[in-house]
Structure 1
Amino acid sequence: MTSTAGPAARVRGDLAALLADVAEAYVLGDVVTWSVLTTGYEDCNVDLSTTRARVVAKVFAAGRDPAIAARTAGLITAAQAAGVRHPRLHRDACDRLVRSCLGHQVLVMDFVPGRTLYDLGRAPDPGELAGVVEQAARIHTVDAHPEFVFDPWAVTNLAPLAGQLRDVLDAEQSRLVGQVIEETADVNRDALPTALIHADLTKGNVLLGDDGTVNVLDFAVANRFPRVQELAVIAANLAHGSPDSLPARAETIGDLYSVVAEVPLAVVERAALRVFARAAAAMELLGALAEWHRHGNRGAETEYLIGLGTAGLRDCAGGVS
C-alpha cells in the first residue's frame, strides 16, 4: 500500500475505504492497488487499479463547492465534443458522471499510459508545443458559459496577491513583480477577445501519451477570459526550460496559435500576450510563495514553481540586476 501523505490529507476519513466505495459505485470490481498522484494543490488524484480496469479517481477536496465536480464534468464533455483529448470519463451504475462517495465528489476517468511534462522534467519539443497550442485553440471554440469559479493563480489576482505577500518578497522579487503590476494596469482587457479557456495548461496538466498524443487534464478552473491569458500560461509554465527566453516563447506560441485558431491573434492581443506572459510568471512565483509560507506546502513542486516564476521575470527584465 502506498503512503497517503500529501494530497491524501485533503480527503476526510479513510482513503482506502473511499476508493472501495468508488470501485463499487462505478462497477470497477475489487480494488487491487492504488497510489496518490503527488502534484497539484487542490484535490486528490489517485491511480487506481481494480480487477476490471485501471483508472484515475479525482477526489475533490473536502470543503470545495459541491457543484465544482458537475461543472468540471460538463466542461470536459463539451471540450471532448470539440475534439479536445481528455481521458474518457466513466459513468457509475446509475449512469452519472459525478458520484458522492463518503462525503466527497468524485470523477473517474481512464488511465492514459504516459507521463506529464512535469514528471518528465522538461519543456515540450516543437511538435509537442504545437500540439498543446492546437488543443488550446479547440478549447477556445467551446460555446460554454459556466458559472465563474475563483482561480487563485489567475493573472487577474496579481495585484491583490502581491499585496498580501509583500512581507515575504525579497528586494528583487518586489521590484520585478511591481514592474509587472504597472504593465498589466495599462492593458485594456475590454479590447481583448474572450473565450472559454482551460486556464491551467501547465506541465502538470499536459500528459504525453506513450503513443505520442497530447492529452489535456483537469478543467476545474476553466473560465471565460481573454484567450491570450491561456497562451501566457503556456509560455510561462509549460514551455519553461526551453532554450528561448519567456518573451521569445510567447511570440512563438502566438505564431502557432494564429495558424490553427479560427481567428488569428490581433495586434492588440499580441501586445497583451507579451505583458500577460510576464504576469503569468509573476503569478507562478506568488502562488508558490503563498503555498510555501501560508499553507506549508514546501515540497519539490512548490520550490520548482518559485524558480520557474523567478526565471520568467528575469527573462523579461533582461537578466539579474
Structure 2
Amino acid sequence: MSAKATVRRNKTAIQTILSGDYRLILNKVYEKELINQREYNSLKSIYREDAEGHVIELVDKIMNKGDDTCGAFLNLLQTDEDIKSTFPQLKDLNEALCVSRPVEISPPHNGVESKVKITPAKGKTMFDDGKGKGAQHVTPCSDRSRSTINDRTLLDINNELESSEVAALCFLCSDVVSRKHLEEIRQAKELFSRLSEKGLLENNTFLKELLRTIHREDLIIRLKAGSGNLEETDARRVLSNFRIMLYKIYDDMTVDGLESMKLLLKSKLGKRHLDHCKTALDVFAEMEKKELISDTHVDELYDVLQKLDAKLAKTVKHYTTRR
C-alpha cells in the first residue's frame, strides 16, 4: 500500500489523536519541511475552527503533496520522540501506519504514482464521473474546444487542489478568462472548462506552467502521464510574467506582512474593500480594479513593499528590469 493510501485509510484516527495538541504537530511538520512558510502561516492563522478542524486542514495538505510527503509524515509520527510522548495513542496505530511494500512508480520521478490514462466514452461531457454527473458549465464533447489532455487526468487534478490553490489559479488566469467568469468558479474543473474553450488545453504546456507556479510539481507528473507525447509551446506567452511576479510576492508574504500592506493601502482602496481581502492576491486584484497596478505600472506596489520587506520589493524591481 502506498504512503498516501495509508494516510487516507487511517485519516480519521490520525486526526482524532493529533487534535490533542495541533500546535505541536504543525510545528513538527514545518521543522521537517513538509510544508513551506506560506502554508505554515496559513494553517497557523485559521480561525473559526476547533483543534480537530486545524488538524484536518493539515492532514489534507500533507495528502495533497503526494506519496513522498505522506511517507515522511508517517515516519515523523512513528519516530519523533516528542510526538510519541505527546500522542501515546499512536502506538496502537504503528502497524497500520507502516507502508507494507514499496510504491510502484511510473514514471519513476519524485515518488508520485502516475495514473492510468482513461479516455471517456464518446458523448460524455468533460469530467463526467461515469454516473451521469458531470460538472456544471461544461459544454458537450461534440461542441467544446479540442482537448488532448485526458479528461480523467483533469478530474484527478481537480480533486487534489485545495480551494486556496483554485483561487490562485484563477488569479493567474485573469488575463485569459474574464473576471466575471472567474468570480463564478469554485472548483478547478470549472476553470479547466473555461481554458478548454479558449483552446489552452490543446496541449499540457499552459496547465503545467500554472501548476509549477503554485508549486504542485506532483500534479505535473500526473498531467504528463495523462497527456501523451505532446509538442510543447511557450506557456509564458499566455501566463504573464506580471501574474507570476505577483504570485511570488503572495507566496513569500507573511500574515503580518499582509496586514501591514492592507494598512498602507487603506486610504487608496478603502476599508470596506480591504476587509474582504483574505490574501495578498485579493489585495492585488483590488489594486488592479483601482488601476493602481498593471503589467506596465508597478511603482505603487514597489513603494508599498519597500516599507514592508526589501526582499519583496526586490521581486518587483527584478520584474521591471526584465519586462
TM-score range, shorter chain: 0.3 to 0.5
Normalising by the residue count of structure 2, what TM-score does the alignment of the two structures yield? 0.33
Of Structure 1 and Structure 2, the greater strand share is in 1
- Choose 1 or 2 for highest CA Rg: 2
